[in-house]
Chains A and B, each alone.
Chain A
Amino acid sequence: MDRHVVAKVADVQPGDRKLVTVKGRPIALFNLKGEFFAIGDKCPHEAGSLCSGRLVGLAEADVPGEYRLSRSGEFIKCPWHGWEFDIRTGQSWCDPTGTRVRAYDAKVEPGAELNKGPYVAETFKVTVEDDYVVINL
């Protein structure tokens, strides 16, 4: 697997997201309470940009008329037709068995193990203590 540095940890605070590109592929990077997840940016439906969507929770009901919301901020809703994707797994909630956004394996890596790449060229900092987010492709 190739490892690509795409962002600084500090640039993507808990609750934030960032659109990054790796080898021409747009990827939406999310920070969920300190954990990083990255999913393909193009919605499998009509290719709307998921990174432009709304962060939502999971609405559920067992019985008509009783509503509950859980996992707040862990789903991204496509800005177009509103398909909901579980950021942790890439799974779409509207058709759990049938549709999946490719979930990329995103890890936080200490600065010393950086690879060179476009992001590094842009934002490389002298302090190597900074943590970078690396995407495995």
Chain B
Amino acid sequence: MSIVTAERPKAQRPQRQKLSVVDCDIHPGFSTPDEIHPFLPERWREHVKTFGGHYRQAFADTLSHPRMAPEVSRADAWPPKGPPGSDLEFMRAQHLDANGVEYGMLMPLNRGPGNQRNLGYGAALATAVNDWQIAKWVTPEPRLRASIVVTQEDPEAAIAEIEKRAGDERFAQIMLPPRSLEPLGRKRYWPIYEAAVAAKRPLALHVGGINGYPATASGYPSYYIEEQHTNVQGMQQLVTSLVLEGVFERFPQLRVVLVEGGIAWMPALKWRLDKHYKRLKAEVPHLKRLPSEYIHDHIWLTTQPLDEPDKDSDLAETFELVGSDRIMFSTDYPHWDFDDPRFVLSKLTLSPEKQQAILAGNARALYGLK
């Protein structure tokens, strides 16, 4: 049989059109390390100065696998002062205005409140980050929406934070890391999901998180390239746990957004779950539907980093297998693997209606954006 040799396709420039997108993943930054301090109570300001953060890993201030670019960011995204993502004016000019961002969902990764071993500090930090999002970003910039950052290992504090913010429409979703002390489908986390449903907010899980487990079942990878790849496994495991534990059976209103995990792995996971569920369903009698049905009804995925098969038709097929109604555009601005919306649009060899749904429509519907 003849084997197709793939050609590397060139990015095509679509015709000039007014871009209008909803960007489901923007990372806001601190201009200085102390920027969060005014938002912390005195007791925790003192704590963080004296003891700092406390994570389940070797390093106190940095990630276990050094990234390939300073601040994990595009080399051209440094504002005149401060690190990438820390300057609203700069972000407006370089990204929001330039890329037709009608709404941008903030995904603060700052200081990892959900990863803190000191639960008191984690809760205080989460509240501070949430206040900071409003003060620095969302109030001056109406295109932006905040996420309710919560500490998933302390459900009581998480629920309190959700209830505190539920009345503020500028908080679009509830953010937790997909890396946790137990798989997130486990019962200990269910009170948080109950609160999410009551607050009528989706959950957003952005790749990353430090839970003290290596990123593979065989221990820690050596290299950043491997570690980065495990972002996929983080999402695969999360989906598997949520589905098989019956979270969606128990919380039929719950919606979940997987941010920055990629998309192309999803069809094979659905096939695998369905196939083996059919054989082993006696172990999980609480499930009433196929795993793939739960997944389609409850899970959304963001586009960045855009999967790049050698053939554009493979990408279109993948998106259809996942469901083009469940995919939402994102850039990951200002990180290095940022996706330009024009590039993404050029790769979406789908009908204009489906393109628009992915670039903006699905997010507007999910988040209730006018």
Are A and B in contact, CB atoms below 8 Å, in the complex? yes
Mark contacts of A43-77 with chain B using CB atoms, 8 A cut-off: 1 yes-contact digit, 0 otherwise.
Answer: 01111110011100000000000000000000001
A-B pair count, CB < 8 Å, reads 44
Chain B residues within an 8 Å CB radius of A79? 74-77, 336
Question: Are A47 and B342 touching (Cβ within 8 A)?
Answer: yes
Let me know if B271 is at the binding interface, CB within 8 A: no
Question: Are A82 and B8 touching (Cβ within 8 A)?
Answer: no
Question: Are A45 and B11 touching (Cβ within 8 A)?
Answer: yes
Let me know if A124 is at the binding interface, CB within 8 A: no
Chain A residues within an 8 Å CB radius of B76? 48-49, 52-53, 79-80
Let me know if B58 is at the binding interface, CB within 8 A: no
Chain A residues within an 8 Å CB radius of B339? 46
Task: List B residues 285-344 near A (Cβ within 8 Å).
Answer: 336-340, 342-343
Chain A residues within an 8 Å CB radius of B77? 79
Chain B residues within an 8 Å CB radius of A77? 75
Let me know if B7 is at the binding interface, CB within 8 A: yes
Let me know if B68 is at the binding interface, CB within 8 A: yes
Chain A residues within an 8 Å CB radius of B342? 47
Question: Are A80 and B11 touching (Cβ within 8 A)?
Answer: no
Let me know if B69 is at the binding interface, CB within 8 A: yes
Chain B residues within an 8 Å CB radius of A81? 336-337
Let me know if B10 is at the binding interface, CB within 8 A: yes
CA A49 to CA B338, docked complex, whole Å? 13
B10, B75, B338: the one contacting A52 at CB < 8 Å is B75
Question: Are B340 and A48 touching (Cβ within 8 A)?
Answer: yes
Chain A residues within an 8 Å CB radius of B13? 47
CA A100 to CA B30, docked complex, whole Å? 38
Chain B residues within an 8 Å CB radius of A45? 11, 343
Chain B residues within an 8 Å CB radius of A49? 76
Name A's interface SS.
Answer: loop
B11, B68, B69: the one contacting A46 at CB < 8 Å is B11
A49's nearest neighbour on chain B, judged by CB, is B76
B8, B74, B336: the one contacting A99 at CB < 8 Å is B8
Nearest Cβ distance between residue B338 and chain A, in whole angstroms?
Answer: 6
Question: Are A80 and B8 touching (Cβ within 8 A)?
Answer: no
Name B's interface SS.
Answer: loop
CA A135 to CA B74, docked complex, whole Å? 29
CA A74 to CA B293, docked complex, whole Å? 52
Nearest Cβ distance between residue A66 and chain B, in whole angstroms?
Answer: 15
Nearest Cβ distance between residue B356 and chain A, in whole angstroms?
Answer: 20
B7, B11, B69, B340: the one contacting A82 at CB < 8 Å is B69
Chain A residues within an 8 Å CB radius of B7? 98
Nearest Cβ distance between residue B232 and chain A, in whole angstroms?
Answer: 17
Chain B residues within an 8 Å CB radius of A52? 75-76
A92's nearest neighbour on chain B, judged by CB, is B8
Question: Are B8 and A47 touching (Cβ within 8 A)?
Answer: no
Please tell me the number of chain B residues within 8 Å of chain A, measured between CB atoms: 18
CA A52 to CA B338, docked complex, whole Å? 15
Chain B residues within an 8 Å CB radius of A48? 74, 76, 340
CA A82 to CA B11, docked complex, whole Å? 16
Question: Are B337 and A80 touching (Cβ within 8 A)?
Answer: yes
A44, A53, A82: the one contacting B68 at CB < 8 Å is A82
A47's nearest neighbour on chain B, judged by CB, is B11
CA A98 to CA B5, docked complex, whole Å? 11
A54's nearest neighbour on chain B, judged by CB, is B75
Nearest Cβ distance between residue A48 and chain B, in whole angstroms?
Answer: 7
Mark contacts of B1-28 with chain A using CB atoms, 8 A cut-off: 1 yes-contact digit, 0 otherwise.
Answer: 0000001101101000000000000000
CA A7 to CA B343, docked complex, whole Å? 31
CA A44 to CA B74, docked complex, whole Å? 16
Question: Are A80 and B336 touching (Cβ within 8 A)?
Answer: yes
CA A99 to CA B8, docked complex, whole Å? 7
Question: Are B75 and A47 touching (Cβ within 8 A)?
Answer: no
Question: Are B10 and A44 touching (Cβ within 8 A)?
Answer: yes
Let me know if A95 is at the binding interface, CB within 8 A: yes
Nearest Cβ distance between residue A8 and chain B, in whole angstroms?
Answer: 25
Nearest Cβ distance between residue A17 and chain B, in whole angstroms?
Answer: 13
CA A49 to CA B13, docked complex, whole Å? 15
Chain A residues proximal to chain B, CB less than 8 Å: 44-49, 52-54, 77, 79-82, 95, 98-99
Write 29 A-B pairs (CB below 8 A) sorted by A numbering.
Answer: A44-B8, A44-B10, A45-B11, A46-B11, A46-B340, A47-B13, A47-B342, A48-B74, A49-B76, A52-B75, A52-B76, A53-B75, A53-B76, A54-B75, A77-B75, A79-B74, A79-B75, A79-B77, A79-B336, A80-B74, A80-B76, A80-B336, A80-B338, A81-B336, A81-B337, A82-B68, A95-B8, A98-B8, A99-B8
Question: A81-B337, A82-B69 known; 6 other A-B pairs, CB under 8 Å?
Answer: A44-B10, A47-B13, A48-B74, A48-B340, A79-B75, A99-B8
